[in-house]
């Protein structure tokens, strides 16, 4: 499935050639983004507000957005406002522009990671794409046709594809199918609730997706809760006697409010969903930190145990959100900014010892089965 992202990195001649080197980048187009006029020309940029930008179409199964963002930050000075190399002006500002809302948490994580390398604040724009106008034909692939042309990017940067690391292990994070408590918008936590008929059908649909993708699992670990066990059995076709029950994959404990409807919670208890940074669990409940420590403890324990293997982890909504938040280094206020639906599968690679969340998750085919119920609606 094709995905697109837009990078403004100073002069677009070098930025285009830089991204063209990577396996998984399918096509690039240079153009002018997020300005005030339609159909701008190169000569008009100093007054139109557009940024020289490269549209990058990529295959997320071959290269991920986190990888592209890491490479982008390698070839810009993110603390320089309206200047890269010898080029100055608002048209040479840096930015990442998106059209897919699901890319926002990925971009936010990359910016937070990059900021750690600088004392001065990063001034790179991170915005939704407002407009993009392809540049004149003579600008397209300019450095391919003019190898001696000006470029603000070091020549060594055009050999990074050769240095890309291969994954050593792949995790598949599967959320259980729907239950009656999901449907009633109740907190389940550690309550041992089975799948309802819809949840079972969701799991069968995901089994078909996995089969069509040709995915096999070398190791299978599952939460001890029945809704996860049933989902795991239906998706993999493997009996519970033949996979590992792992207590650390259990859902977050909510203590005495488990089983309550969202509407029945006090304002302080609703902070769990509305303001996670303010949430304080009742007696017997877990904190976000405790949840993250047990889950990432498991991930780190497993990541070096099976090189080249596929590992399935069947768990729960809050638990999977916690893993995503930890890997993306999210502030708690952004804990819920991704949609983890019933029976969705997130894919996480281990590359050079680090976790890398793939862009594409596996979901039940659109429209066939209702998605997970959100407490935040």
Task: Please give the helix or strand (H or E) that residue 201 lies within, else none.
Answer: helix 197-213
Q: Establish whether 151 is a catalytic residue.
A: no
Question: What's the distance, Cα to Cα, between the start and end of the chain in Å?
Answer: 29
Give just the sign of the alpha carbon dihedral 24, 168, 288, 246: positive
**Phi/psi at 264 (nearest 5 deg)?**
-90, -10
Beta strands in 226-319 (DSSP E): 244-245, 310-315
8 A C-beta contact, residue 47 and residue 56: no
Tokens of 348: 């996480």
Reduce the DSSP state of residue 251 to 3 states and report it: coil
Q: Could you tell me the CA-to-CA distances from 225 to 190, 274, 342 in Å, in that order?
A: 7, 26, 15
Name the residue among 360, 351, 323, 362 with its Cα closest to residue 70: 351
Tokens of 314: 């069947």
From CA 82, how far away is CA 50, in angstroms rounded?
12
Q: Could you tell me the CA-to-CA distances from 144 to 71, 92, 332 in Å, in that order?
A: 20, 21, 45
Name the residue among 336, 333, 331, 341 with its Cα closest to residue 361: 341
Name the residue among 64, 56, 59 with its Cα closest to residue 354: 64
From CA 295, how far away is CA 236, in angstroms rounded?
22
β pairing state of 345-351 and 354-357: antiparallel
Q: The sheet that has 125-128: what strands, in order across it?
A: 125-128, 94-98, 3-9, 51-58, 25-33, 132-134
The catalytic residues are 11
């Amino acid at each position: 499935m094709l995905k697109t992202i837009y990078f403004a990195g100073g002069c677009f001649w070098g930025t285009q050639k830089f991204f063209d080197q990577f396996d998984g980048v399918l096509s690039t187009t240079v153009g002018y983004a997020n300005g005030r006029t339609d159909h701008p020309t190169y000569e008009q940029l100093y007054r139109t507000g557009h940024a020289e930008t490269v549209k990058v179409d990529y295959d997320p199964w071959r290269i991920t957005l986190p990888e592209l963002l890491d490479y982008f930050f390698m070839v810009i000075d993110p603390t320089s406002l309206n200047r890269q190399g010898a080029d100055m002006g608002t048209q040479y500002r840096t930015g990442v522009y998106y059209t897919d809302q699901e890319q926002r948490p990925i971009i936010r994580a990359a910016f937070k990671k990059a900021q750690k390398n600088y004392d001065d604040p990063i001034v790179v724009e991170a915005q939704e794409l407002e407009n993009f106008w392809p540049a004149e034909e003579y600008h397209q692939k300019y450095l391919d046709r003019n190898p001696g042309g000006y470029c603000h990017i070091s020549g060594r940067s055009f050999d990074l594809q050769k240095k890309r690391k291969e994954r050593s292990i792949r995790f598949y994070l599967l959320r259980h199918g729907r239950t009656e408590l999901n449907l009633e918008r109740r907190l389940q936590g550690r309550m041992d609730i089975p799948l309802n008929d819809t949840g079972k059908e969701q799991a069968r649909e995901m089994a078909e997706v996995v089969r069509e993708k040709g995915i096999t699992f070398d190791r299978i670990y599952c939460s001890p809760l029945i809704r996860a066990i049933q989902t795991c059995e239906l998706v993999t076709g493997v009996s519970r006697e033949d996979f590992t029950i792992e207590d650390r994959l259990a859902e977050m404990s909510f203590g005495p409010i488990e089983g309550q409807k969202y509407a029945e919670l006090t304002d302080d208890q609703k902070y769990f969903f509305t303001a996670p940074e303010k949430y304080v669990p009742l007696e017997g409940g877990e904190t976000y930190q405790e949840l993250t420590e047990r889950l990432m403890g498991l991930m780190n324990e497993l990541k070096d145990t099976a090189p080249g293997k596929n590992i399935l982890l069947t768990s729960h909504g809050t638990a999977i959100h916690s893993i995503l938040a930890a890997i993306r280094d999210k502030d708690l206020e952004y804990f819920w900014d991704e949609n983890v639906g019933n029976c969705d599968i997130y894919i996480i690679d281990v590359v050079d010892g680090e976790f890398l969340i793939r862009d594409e998750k596996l979901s039940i085919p659109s429209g066939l089965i209702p998605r997970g119920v959100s407490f935040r609606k």
